[in-house]
Amino acid sequence: MTDYAKPLPKVTDESAPFWEGCRAQELRIQRCDSCARFRFPPQKMCRHCNSVEFTWAPVSGKGTVYSFTVPTNTSPGELPARGFDYPYAVALVELEGTDGVRIASNIVDCPVDEIAIDMPVEVTFDQVTDEITLPKFRRV
Amino acid sequence: MGSLSNVCSIVGIGETDYLVNSGRDPLLLALEAIRKAVDDAGLEPKDIDGIVSSSIDASGSEQFIASNLGLSNVSYTSEVTGLGGAACATVAHAAMAVASGMAHTVVCFRAFTPYDFTVGAKHNQSTLWAKASGVGEFLRPFGWSAMVDTFAMNCRRHMHEYGTTSAQLGAIAVAMRKHASMNPASIRSEPITLEDHQNSPFITQPLRELDGLISNNDGACAMIVTTTERARDLRQKPAKIMAAAQSLGSHPGLLWELSPFKPTITESEAAHIAPRLYAMAGLTPQDIDVAQIYDCYTYTVLTMLEDYGFCKKGEGGSFVEGGRIEIGGELPVNTHGGHLGEAYIHGFTHIVEGVKQMRGTSTAQVEDAETTLVASAVPGPTSALILGR
Ligand SMILES: [Zn+2]
């Protein structure tokens, strides 16, 4: 695990609870304490009611593919080396029970040409270093 | 105060050569484009009393511009944030400064070098990539790491919801390259066929190489804005600023790269601008004779044709077929060849081309064109102009 070469998240105070959740095998999303709406990526304030009070609430981890891409080559504006094996799929997963909140991830154990929009998926956790566990998704 | 409509005009334009990776200095590029725009207008550098720049520009601050040009009377400066979406907003800010009397002759400029997206962006607070951490941490570990990935994500959803095809995107690429082949300044000067497009390899599916911009060029553009009244005494036929608009869109907390997290991802921020823009100009989409629409990828043209009301949402694919957006068609788009064919100066070449169409000097001139839409980048903060003859 020490030779993991792909980009790692730079954990901030704001996002640390998300990554702690992943280490504990639980997908946690910010939920407003005032109006109960979910939001992702993290924000300091609820856009709906402007409350700054929120909870990192566990979600089921089930969802559907909302959209996906298949990066196949280096391309304009690319940040330094992806370190990924082409082709792979980046999926935008809409999380069940969150009223439409989406998260970016990869679909594992599924050939890229079998991935489709609306495909049901569920979270699976991939511990890539001692500190970081990434939430990935698999077909259900 | 009354409407900004037609109060100001673009009276001078300047462009450097567009070259691939020439290594030219961004400040020298900016100064060259500004000098040319000043000459084009029949003015002197000392006439400039306002400077508007794009915040990602690497040529340095407005103080470097003023210092090198010897401007001793600058009374207004501003820097517009928002990457490629900022282009038309620089002209809007210039027009507001002129209309309010803060300044009389304002230059807007953009020097682009590949540095802007690599080293430069890291020093720029207003760009997403400037952040050492933050939203990128939810994208990069999964291999979402290039600009094209965001456009591809939105495009795939558009294809799913509306049946848009890669070949329809190809019709856009073919049109841009046709116009580029008519423009001697173009970097990609050879026309392409739909078959070429369909045989082109994917960069990030569903987008192909020929869906994408020229990313490794450098060059600069500049425009001079003053009152329409004063424009009558200057050298060139003015391009009147009939309307200008700017928008952060409906979910401004989500920066451009996070646009696929918005509730509706197939509609861009352009949909927020369009009603205000047409109302200010007193026009409808049917009154637009030619359009200059930001084309870092073919998909942005498709979605903005819908969002600016040239067709219904979801019908962009069929709209672009059959040569409708080529010269001689119903709505020629990017008559300079756009970022796909001419050069990539982050939305500013589209403004220059809009002015040329209003003067009647484009290399793909639309006969009797009286109005042109100029639309800057989406997704994320965006801006647009309607220019008139
Ligand atoms: Zn709330």
ipTM of the complex: 0.95
Q: Best of B137, B164, B188 to disrupt the A interface by mutation (most A CBs within 10 Å)?
A: B137
CATH, domain range B8-120+212-388:
3.40.47.10
Which residues make Cβ contacts (< 8 Å) with residue B327, sequence separation at least 6? Answer: B178, B179, B182, B335, B364, B366
- Mean pLDDT value of segment B183-202: 97
- B226 or B113: which leads in pLDDT: B226
* pLDDT over threshold 90, residue B264: no
pLDDT at B119: 60
* pLDDT over threshold 50, residue B129: no
Give the tens place of pLDDT for each residue, A70-121.
Answer: 988 665 554 444 578 778 999 999 999 999 999 999 999 999 999 999 999 9
- Mean pLDDT value of segment B213-223: 94
Task: State which amino acid sits at residue B222.
Answer: A
Task: State which amino acid sits at residue A97.
Answer: G
- Alpha carbons B328 and A41: distance in angstroms, whole number: 46
Ion ligand 1 neighbours (CB, 5 A) are: A 32, 34-35, 46, 48-49, 51
Q: Which of B135, B142, B204 has the CB atom closest to A70's CB atom? A: B204
Q: How confident is the model at residue B136 (pLDDT cuts 50, 70, 90)?
A: confident
Q: How confident is the model at residue B121 (pLDDT cuts 50, 70, 90)?
A: low
The pTM score is: 0.95
- Alpha carbons A10 and A6: distance in angstroms, whole number: 13
pLDDT at B114: 83
The overall average pLDDT reported for chain B is 92
Token pair of A2, please? 């020490």
The overall average pLDDT reported for chain A is 91
Helices (H), ranges, B182-253: 194-199, 228-231
- B247 or B57: which leads in pLDDT: B247
Q: Which of B117, B201, B251 has the CB atom closest to A77's CB atom? A: B117
Token pair of A64, please? 């559907």
Top-ranked range on mean pLDDT: pick from A5-9, A39-43, B226-230, B262-266: B226-230
* pLDDT over threshold 80, residue B340: yes
pLDDT at B128: 45
- Neighbouring CB atoms inside 10 A of B190's CB total 10
- Alpha carbons B251 and B237: distance in angstroms, whole number: 40
Residue B157 near chain A (CB below 8 Å): yes
Give me the residue spans of the domains in chain B.
8-120+212-388
- Alpha carbons A42 and A38: distance in angstroms, whole number: 10
- Mean pLDDT value of segment B94-111: 97
Q: Which residue of chain B is at minimal alpha-carbon distance from A40?
A: B261
Q: How confident is the model at residue B316 (pLDDT cuts 50, 70, 90)?
A: very high
pLDDT at B134: 55
